[in-house]
Every structure is written in C-alpha cells, then in structure tokens.
Structure 1
Amino acid sequence: MSNLIFPPYLQEGDRVIILSPSSKIDKSFLRGATKRLKSWGLEVVLAKNAGSANGTYAGSIRQRVKDLQDAMDDEKAKVIFCSRGGYGVVHLMDKLNFTKFKKHPKWLIGFSDITALHNLFQQNGFASLHAPMARHLTVEPEDDFCAQALKDILFGNAINGEEAFNYVCPAHKLNHKGTGAGILRGGNLSVFYGLRGTPYDIPAEGTILFIEDVGERPHAVERMMYNLKLGGILEKLSGLIIGQFTEYEENKSLGKDLYGALADLVKEYDYPICFNFPVGHVTMNVPLINGAQVTLEVGNKEVKLSFNTDKG
C-alpha cells in the first residue's frame, strides 16, 4: 500500500486520549504525560483502564480492547497516546473495528510493543507515529528534542514550515552509502518478527525498514534477521535503518559485536544502510512517521532521513 492516509494535524483544544493497551504503568507517568500534553494546549482524557492492573497487564484483554476501541471510535479525539509498551498488544490485534476510525482518523503514538498496532494501522491504510510515550514526557525537560519534535509533527509545524522535515545523524563506519526512497515502516524487531506470516506483516517491496530492540541477546537478534533474510524480506527493501539495541550483554558470542554481525548479514545488499540511528529504548528516540514516504541518504559524513509529507 503506497498511499497511507495521514490523520489531521492538531489545533489547540483538540482531544488526546491516553490509554494503556499492553503492560501496566506507574500512575505518576500518566500524570506527567497529562501535564505535558495539557501544556501543549490539548484536552487530555484518560481512558477508563489507563491505570489499571491485571497481572503484568493494564487490565484484562476485554478492558484493554474496550479502551482502545472507544478511543478509535471517539469522533472528537485526534490522538491515541499509548502510555507505554511492554508485552500485551498482540492480545488485541484481531478484536478491533476500524469502521468509525476511518471516518474520524487520529494519530496513534507509541513504540516498542506498540509496533504491533503500527502494523495494524498501516494494514488498514493509516500512517502513525513511532514516538516517545508517557515516561519520556514525564521525566524529560520542556525543551527535550524528541518531545518538541513530536509536538511539531502533531501540530504540522515540522510539516508546513519552509524547511524540509528531516533528521540528520553522523555517519557510522559500517554504513552502506547511497540514496533510497520508499515508505518508512518498522519498529521493535522482536514484535515485528512475531507478526511475520500473519495478515499484520508489512510488505517488503518499496519499504525503508527501521529496527530497534531492548534486552535481546545478540544471537536472538541475528536469528530474527536471518528470518528476514531467508524469507526474502531484506533483498526487497529500498533501505535499512538499524537503530539502538540496548540492555544486553555484548559478549561477542557471534565472534564480533552485534553491529558487526548484522553488517556481515546485510553486506550483499546494494541499498543504503544506516547503523546507530537515534531510535529505540533510549532518550534520543526521534519520532518517526510510520507509513510516510521518505528518502534515506547515507553519505560519507552524515545520514539524512527526509519525510515527504504531502498528504495529496
């Protein structure tokens, strides 16, 4: 699908619904996110079960489905803000109805386990925002780059300004130089991998794929990447963005570090490949429009990811 629908950009007074579709969350982060979003001039509504707990989850499957469905159906809401990731979104995937959402589309925001919802929303024809969640908006300062970038995207400031909306980061020694254009898709590697072979898998052709993960051992990451390689996914991409892999022990069990092992795995492809992009379970987790047309330029000194956000 090449023409995904962008939900409308925000105006002051628009409604944001905060919900917790997967793991339970510390209520202080709900309060912090509410405060930050209100400071942007938005009306903030907490879903009924946003702060609930059922084992490790934020409520039962039924409660989490109802919160998300109610938010999707809300005619006045413009944003569905996921409070956190953590395992649990997969419970909801086949239980949601997009009939009313398609009449009143809204931005979905989140990352990590929320990758599954990004895939689902793209499958239904809508772009969404892979971006920081409640903890980030609570603990990071007012001038935090990623929070400000999220605000600018939501309000169309980054989109409608004279300068192109793009991110620039330093080059990495393992990068493959070149330029590629396509639709930006991806997110958390293990979540994306878990949807392979389902209706919620993403198409490879014409895709600029970005990946990140947390707490996965190097050989597990390599195994998942071999699935993409042997499944014919990697060879069809238009570009690959390898983000941050964190909270694991770099023991060189693969004979080299993780990035080195991944570089060997993708060395045969002639499209642009970027290592160490600022996306993942880190403070510098830049908001990315999942489903947007982008251009990836990997040069000698820097990498530039540019968004073509023409909704026409």
Structure 2
Amino acid sequence: MRRRRLLMGGGMAAVGLVGLGAGGSGMAQPSVTVQRPPRLRPGATVGICSPAGATFERDRLDLVVDAVTAMGWRPKLAPHVLERYGYLAGPDAVRAADVNALFADPSVDALLPVRGDWGSARILPYLDYDQIRANPKVIIGFSDITALLLGIYAKTGLITFHGPHGVTAWRSDQVDFLRRVVVQGETLTFTNPLLGADQDRIMRDQGRIDTITPGRATGRLLGGNLSVLSGLVGSPYLPDLRGAILFLEDIGERPHRVDRMITQLKLAGALDGLAGFIFGQCRSCGPGEGFGALTLSEILRDHIQPLGIPAWSGAWIGHVEPMWTLPLGGQVAIDANRGEIRMLEPAVI
C-alpha cells in the first residue's frame, strides 16, 4: 500500500482456544481464549479515535460524527483525535493512550478510527492488552488499521472487524453489512456483488472470481492489507496463521512489490499450514507502461498453488465499495469454486 497513492485509507465469551504465535517468526505466544465483543445496540457510544494518520480538516471528522449519529449511536471523541505530528495523528504514545482510554471507559461500546494511512503498527507496543482483554469491544477498520486489528487479536484473542472506518462512504449497502454483523449478530455469506453494467449483462465483467485451487475449507478468518500485514512478520503482533483462512488486499502496488511481500510471508513460514487463501482486490496494481511483469494471477499461482489449499482471487475485499464487515478471528467456511465466505458463528454476543 503506497501511502502517497492511498485514497480511502485514507460480556466476555470464550469461543475456543487458539495457540497464537508470530506467523512463523518463532516468537511464541501463550494460548488465549478467543472472545466476541458485545453487539452494538441502539444508543451505543462509539469512540472516534485516530490511531494512524492525521485528520487535517475538521470537516472530515464532522462527517464521521454525522455517520455515527445517523446509525443511531452516540459519538465520543478521543481527546487527541485531531492532534497532528507530521503525517501522524500525534506522537505514538498519545495515539495509543487514546485507544487505551476508550477501551478502559465503561461508557464506550466500540472504537471507530477516523482513517488509516500509516501509523497503527507504531502504537502496538504501547497498548494495554490486559485492559483490552478485560473490556472487549467492537473495533473496526481496514487498510493501515489492519495492524491494530491483528495486533489486538494476537495479544488478546478479541475478534476484531475488517470493515469501514470513519471517512469511508457510509452507503446503504455498506451499512447493511455492518449492521447485520455487529448489531444483529447474523452469520452472513459473502459473495461478490453485481455492479453497474454487470447487472444487465449475461456475463460478469467486474468482480470476477479466479479459482487458484478448487475446494472448500474451514478455519478462523485472518488477514487484511498485504503491505501492513507483511510488516508485522517477525513481531508478536502477527497471529499464528496455521489453520487459518488468510485474506489479503492492497492498493497502489506494482506486481513486483506484491511478489516481494508474498515471498516475505512465504520465507517467514507465515503461509505454512494455512487452511485456505483469499486474495481480494488490488486497485492500481498494474505494471505501468513499458514494463514487462508477471501478472498478479501468475504471482499468486506461483506462491499459492503449491500449498494445495482451497484458494481464489478477486474477492470483493479491499479499497472497494460496498465494503464487507468481516470478523477477524471468527470461524468461517469458504468455497474456492464459488468465491464464497460463510460465517459459521456470530461475531458478537
């Protein structure tokens, strides 16, 4: 995810024991109890925070407040939500303090980052994971927020949510996924939507599924932005991916960079023992004019097909709309032939 090209990035319940490690880094972590946060009810308080990039215009924050209010929730601004330290929303310790405070605040039911961009990984060493574990809450985002979602899951077992953050488009179909997953506690089945002209065609043009290896699998769903996730390799903030369904997406990356990052995951052992693999959308990831390159399809087949696990690319996951709300750490079943993700359990209690 090339930040300069990022447009959009910009009650406790035990549901199983999982041995969490560092995704092949050899840095073992103790087993933790996977837990679901309480669902969001009408009038819930949503803490709006900035764990990554700075919000430079106040009206961007006002849009987030309006969206939260329109959902029937009460917005609560973190103390430093508009702070700025260069391109970051304040120094690392300050951004982490806001996240810690929102988890510790009994009046807050969920955390919604304003935006992604860059910076979530920098605050991971400053988070109070004991406090987070003791106060499970919905936290949702995507892009750079991948680091925060995976780090919290790895250290606490709390199911987190890959979905819209504050400055994404709160369109009705996108809101519908969010409501059904974190409010109603439904177990959804996700398949690529028909978009635009495809709704009136006898064939699909956008959102096509490319099956890499056919088959079905079940496992805990983990993943997010490839650039951010690969940056966690070797740290205690990347969950052990053995037995998981791994999904990846990105934006603004040339094919050789995607190849480099997936190679890094492979060499680190993070792909060993996966139950299944999904590659979403990679917008603006072409080779450019006059540049000979492997295609994304060829890169994925080189790395993923030898794993012999159900796998496909083209899932409607990434810097796209409508954006799904996916439970990181939740049990799912996948069908690589149909390009389908089916939740096997509610993600909230």
Q: TM-score, length-normalised on structure 2?
A: 0.81
- The alpha carbon displacement at 1:172 in A equals 2.3
- The alpha carbon displacement at 1:135 in A equals 1.7
- 1:96-175, aligned counterparts within 5 Å? 96-123=127-154, 124-136=156-168, 139-141=169-171, 143=172, 145-155=173-183, 157-159=184-186, 164-169=187-192, 172-175=209-212
8 Å CA contact retained: 2:233, 2:268: no
Residue 274 of structure 2 corresponds to 237
Residue 342 of structure 2 corresponds to 306
Amino acid at match of 2:345: T
Amino acid at match of 1:167: F
Amino acid at match of 1:112: S
Task: Pick from 53, 63, 68 the counterpart of residue 23 of structure 1.
Answer: 53
Q: Deviations over 1:261-310 (max 9, x none)?
A: 222222212211121111111223211110100101122xx221011225
Partner Cα distance (2:161, 2:275) in 1:
21
Cα distance, 1:152–1:89 mapped onto 2, change above 3 Å: same
- The alpha carbon displacement at 1:106 in A equals 0.4
Residue 328 of structure 2 corresponds to 290
Matched, 1:184 2:215: no
Q: Which sits farther off after the overlay, 247-256 or 76-85?
A: 247-256
Residue 6 of structure 2 corresponds to none
Q: Which sits farther off after the overlay, 246-255 or 286-295?
A: 246-255
Matched, 1:89 2:120: yes
Q: Deviations over 1:26-70 (max 9, x none)?
A: 432321121121122111101122122221111222321221111
8 Å CA contact retained: 2:210, 2:314: no
Q: Cα RMSD over matched residues?
A: 2.0
Matched, 1:71 2:102: yes
Runs of 4+ aligned residues of structure 1 deviating over 4 Å after TM superposition are none
Q: Which sits farther off after the overlay, 14-23 or 215-224?
A: 215-224
Partner Cα distance (1:202, 1:100) in 2:
19
8 Å CA contact retained: 1:208, 1:239: yes
Residue 30 of structure 2 corresponds to none
Partner Cα distance (1:202, 1:171) in 2:
30
8 Å CA contact retained: 1:4, 1:291: yes
Higher relative contact order (CA 8 A, sep 6+): 2
8 Å CA contact retained: 2:222, 2:241: no
Partner Cα distance (2:182, 2:246) in 1:
22
- Percent identity of the aligned residues? 29
Residue 258 of structure 1 corresponds to 296
Q: Secondary structure at the match of 1:235?
A: coil
Q: How many residues align?
A: 301
Q: TM-score, length-normalised on structure 1?
A: 0.90
